Amino acid sequence: MYKITKGGKTFVGDNVDYWDANSRMWFENAQGDEMGAVYFGFDNLYPQGAMNEAGLVYGSLNVTPREVPANKHLLSFDGRMVMRDIMKTCKTVGEVYSKLILYNRTPIGDGMLYFVDQSGDYLIVEVDTMIRGNDSHYVISNFCPSQTPDFSTVEIPFFQSARKMMKDQVDTSLNYLTALSDTLHQSWSNNVGGTQYTLIFNLSEGSFQLFYYHDFKNPIKFNLKAELSRGNRTVSIPDVFPNNALGHAQLAQYTKAHDFIKQVKDTDLAKDSIQLATYIQSEGIGPMINFFQKELYFQGYDFLKADKKESAINLFKLNVKYCPKSWNSYNSLGDIYFDEKDYLKALSYFTRSVELNPEFNENGKSKIKKIEKRIK
C-alpha cells in the first residue's frame, strides 16, 4: 500500500494479493445518517478493503503473526462487522482510532489494517499497536512497522523498489501511480494467485481506478457516488474485464480446483489414490491444490471420523505432495501409522512434522519419544 498527498489531493494505491480468483466489489448505500461505501474482496464477501463517501479508504495486509494476550475488558472484534461500521460512520482516521481503541484486536492475528482519509492522514493498525502519521508520501508492505525501526532492512524486493521510486520522484499523475502499483505487484508461479486486482483511489474526488490481474494498461475508472446511485449490488471483477485472458485462465483453474474439493467431499473419489492423481492431472489443477491444503486436511479428518481411513490417508498424502510444508498432515499420517503399530513409517512422518514445526508440535515430539522407546 502507498499513499501520496500533493497539491491538496490524496491518492492511495493497493494491490490485493491472493490465490482466490473470484474477486468481487460490492456497493452499499447509506441509511439515515450513515455513509455509503464500496467494498472489495472475494466470494465470501469479507471486506478486504473499502472506500466510503467521505473519502476514507481502508485496506489490509498479511504480516508475521505475533502472540499477544487478549484484553478481556475490551470489546470483541468481529472484522466483518467492525469494518462495515467504520465505513458507515467514520470520516477521518481520528474517528477510526477512537473506535478501534475500544476493541480487543487479537483476532486480527496475521493481519494488519490501514486507513487513509481525505486529508492524507493515515492509521496503521497492528494486533497490539496503532500508528498515526501524516507524511506526504508513505509506503508499507507485509511487515509490522512497530517492529521495524529501519525500513531499509526489510527484505522485500518490490517494497524496496517502490521506496526507491518514491525517493527519486513523487508524482500524482495516473502514469506515475500506475507505474508505482506495477512495481509493487506480484506474479506467482504457474499463473496461480498473486495480485488479483489493483486499486488507485482518488480520495479527494471520490473515485478509483480498477486494474485486473497484472494488466496495468487497461484500467476502468469508477465514481463512487455515481455507482451508488445505481443501487446496492455485487459485481464480479473478472466479469468487468472479459478480455483479460490470463486472468480468466486463472479463474478457470481455480474453479476446477474448487470443484475437485467438492468431488472429494461428496463422492468416493478419495478412496482410490490412482483415481485422485488421474483427476488432478487431467484437470491440470496441481499448482492450485497447494492453496486448498486446509480444506483437504479437515476433509481427511472427517473421513477418519467416518471410519474411511483409506480416503483419509490418500488426502493427507495428497497434501504433503502438493503442500510439502503441511506439518499437520505429516502429523496426521504419523498418528494413523502409530495406531497401526507401523512405527518406522510413523516415525518418518512425525520427524518431518517436527522439522517443519518444532515450536508448536507437542504431539509429534511426544510420539517420537514413545516410538523410540518401543523400537529399543
The grid coordinates of residue 336 equal 494413523
Domains by residue range for the chain, with CATH: 2-243 (3.60.60.10), 249-375 (1.25.40.10)
* Distance linking the first and last C-alpha atoms of the chain: 56
**What is the pLDDT at residue 109?**
87
Residue 207: per-residue pLDDT: 98
Distance CA 374, CA 59 (A): 53
Find all residues with CB under 8 Å of 4, minimum gap 6, and list them.
10, 11, 136, 137, 166, 170, 171, 172, 177
Q: Say which residue the cell 478412496 belongs to.
A: 271
pLDDT at residue 193, as a whole number: 86
* Sign of the Cα pseudo-torsion (2, 46, 248, 187, in order): positive
Residues of the chain below pLDDT 70: none
By DSSP bridging, strand 215-223 and strand 49-52 are unpaired
Write down the residue that cell numbers 495480485 correspond to. 195
pLDDT reported for residue 223: 98
Is residue 87 within 8 Å of residue 99, measured between CB atoms? no
Tell how far CA 317 is from the center of its chain: 26
Instruction: Give pLDDT tens digits for 276-324.
Output: 999 999 999 998 988 898 999 999 999 999 999 999 999 999 999 998 9
- β-sheet with 2-6: strand ranges across: 137-139, 2-6, 9-17, 195-202, 207-212, 215-223
Cβ of 127: how many Cβ atoms within 10 Å? 22
Confidence (pTM): 0.90
Question: What is 77-116 written as a DSSP string?
Answer: --HHHHHHHHHHH--SHHHHHHHHTTEE-GGGTTEEEEEE
Quote the Cα angle for 71-72-76, to 5°. 95
Residue pair 97/123 in contact (Cβ under 8 Å)? The answer is yes
